Amino acid sequence: MRMIFFVVILATGLMYSYLAFTDLDFLTTTGRLGPGFFPRVIGTLMVVFTIWSMIAELRPSAAEGRSDVGGYAGQVALIMSLGVAYVLSLGLVGGIPATVIFLFVTLSVLNRDRLLQNGLVALLVPGAIYVLFDRLLNAAIPEGVLPLPF
């Protein structure tokens, strides 16, 4: 079942990379990074890491350690629900606050014993995203409908 998942992810990554390399420009006419830069990086990394995961899955030692494959179905459903709630909340509260809340709740589900670490990651990652996209790249981050103090 995992190998089928990897094949689907690999096919998606290859299609995404193909579109990024053929349809989007790497550089603008002024020589700055164009709209194809990040999609190319993401698509290439997606293909490389998926192939790496497929190779690791084919190793004999990888299959020995797994006995309870269906034991995480509840967590997977919860994380998927949180992802849907995150997408819906982007337009309501904005990109940065929604990301902070999503990361904190998701990390609290997956990493229950490390509350301080979860809080730091939930604050620092969106902060870095804000600085990178809003300040350095001058790219738009979704703003919410609700007026927030920051």
The count of C-alpha atoms lying within 13 angstroms of the C-alpha of 60, restricted to the half-sphere facing its C-beta, is 0
pLDDT at 22 > cutoff 70 = yes
Model pTM above 0.95: no
* pLDDT band at 122; cut points 50, 70, 90: very high
Each residue's pLDDT tens digit, 55-98: 988 887 655 555 555 567 788 888 889 989 998 888 888 888 99
What's the rounded mean pLDDT across residues 31-54?
A: 87
The count of C-alpha atoms lying within 13 angstroms of the C-alpha of 76, restricted to the half-sphere facing its C-beta, is 5
